[in-house]
Amino acid sequence: MTSLVASKEVQTLLDRASGIGEAGGNARLKAIMRDLLESTMSLLLDRASGIGEAGGNARLKAIMRDLLESTMSLIEKHDISESEFWQAINYLQNGAPEFNLIVPGVGVEHFLDLHMDAKDAAAGLSGGTPRTIEGPLYVAGAPLVESGANLTDDADEGEVLTMSGAVRGPDGEAVPNAILHVWHANSKGFYSHFDPTGEQATFNNRRRLKLGADGRYAFSSIMPRGYSVPPGGATDVLMKALGRHGNRPAHVHFFIEAPGYRTLTTQINFGDDPFARDDFAFGTREGLLPTPDRSRGDAHITFDFALVRARSNADAGFSTRSRASA
């Protein structure tokens, strides 16, 4: 057992998350769930620090594992909020431009999700589409358009992607007046606003879709490609030193905001991508891995989002993470 897992804070978190100490429920299931959560944390640390990979520097891996464990312990010990976390990362980022890529790469952004999941479970909040990492490439101010829109402004030879479904609440009710923020890379794996070739229009593949009373959405776009961290950059150097790769599977990011519901930060990763289950950023999660249906030509994804009701205004809003704008 690692010292993080052994710490009082994490032991309490695991007990609470698995319902140990609650009168009701299935005792055997609770015990299994507790062991499962415990092993997940150790596994995350091993994978993030490249333990088990053949290449890389063994001493660096061992140090990195302890560094990550300490960072995660701090999150637990001080119950660090999303906003506090990103304030600190922003500070470090000012001195090191790839810091916000290193943070998902070493699994700490994913750990923040696990921390929030555990808090929700302890508070009796469950269900809904799983949250997953935002990543550093959102740009505020994308055009607000009707559902059904095309997201792609630029000429792109890639495959057409269409996506549709509904946004529902915890009782299966349609969520009215939601705004679905969508952003993804182009067919070369580059995001507008951050494209090193400078070729893309400002909001290419970025929109905010205004949904109606029925909560249904649809859009068309060009299939994104997975991407790797910038070659030779700080993240790439670290990944290589850990014997790891820096690839993400093709994916589409979402925020969903709706009055009375919690803002959801999530993404789908394409289940047929070679890196679908080996995402360097730990952004893929069960339930978020749809495989496109090509039986009618274009790639189509049907995906329903489930939101959780907000318990307070703070609960409903975005974190105050600093984001790019254009």
Q: Where are the alpha helices (DSSP H) in 78-138?
A: 82-93, 99-105, 108-122
Look-up: residue for tokens 């879709």?
209
What residues contact residue 86 under an 8 Å CB cut-off, 6+ apart?
319, 320, 321, 322
Task: Give the nearer residue to Fe ion in terms of CB position, either 135 or 215.
Answer: 135
Tell me which residues touch Fe ion (CB under 5 A). 135
> What is the distance of C-alpha 27 from the center of its chain?
31
Compute the distance between CA of residue 287 and CA of residue 127 in angstroms, rounded to an integer.
Answer: 12
Closer residue to Fe ion in complex, CB, 135/246: 135
Least CB distance to Fe ion at residue 53 (A): 23
Shortest Å distance, C-beta 172 to Fe ion: 30
Q: CA–CA separation, 309 vs 168, rounded Å?
A: 10
Q: How far is the CB of 206 from Fe ion (least distance, A)?
A: 12
Give min distance, CB of 194 to Fe ion, in A: 10
Largest CA distance in the chain: 60
CB closer to Fe ion, 33 vs 106: 106
Q: Give me the least distance between CB of 305 and Fe ion, in Å please.
A: 18
Q: 3-class SS at 42? A: helix
Q: Which is nearer to Fe ion, 105 or 135 (CB)?
A: 135
**At its nearest, how many Å lie between Fe ion and the CB of residue 254?**
11
- The residue among 107 and 135 lying less far from Fe ion, judged by its C-beta, is 135
- At closest approach, how far in Å is the CB of 193 from Fe ion? 12
Name the closest residue to Fe ion (Cβ): 135
Output 139 or 149, the one with its CB closest to Fe ion.
Answer: 139
Q: Rounded to the nearest whole angstrom, what is the least distance from the CB of residue 55 to Fe ion in the complex?
A: 25
Q: Which is nearer to Fe ion, 135 or 243 (CB)?
A: 135
Q: How buried is 231 (Cβ within 10 angstroms: 0-12 exposed, 13-18 middle, 19+ buried)?
A: exposed
Cβ neighbours around 175 below 10 Å, total: 23
The amino acid at 221: S
SS3 assignment for 199-243 = CCCCCCCEEEEECCCCCEEEEEEECCCCEECCCCCHHHHHHHHCC
Phi, psi dihedral angles at 165 (to 5 degrees): 160, -160
User: CA-to-CA distance for 130 and 290, rounded, in angstroms?
Assistant: 13
249: nearest Cα among 135, 88, 146: 135
Q: Give the C-alpha separation, 266 to 148, whole Å.
A: 20
- Closer CB to Fe ion, 158 or 170, in the complex: 158
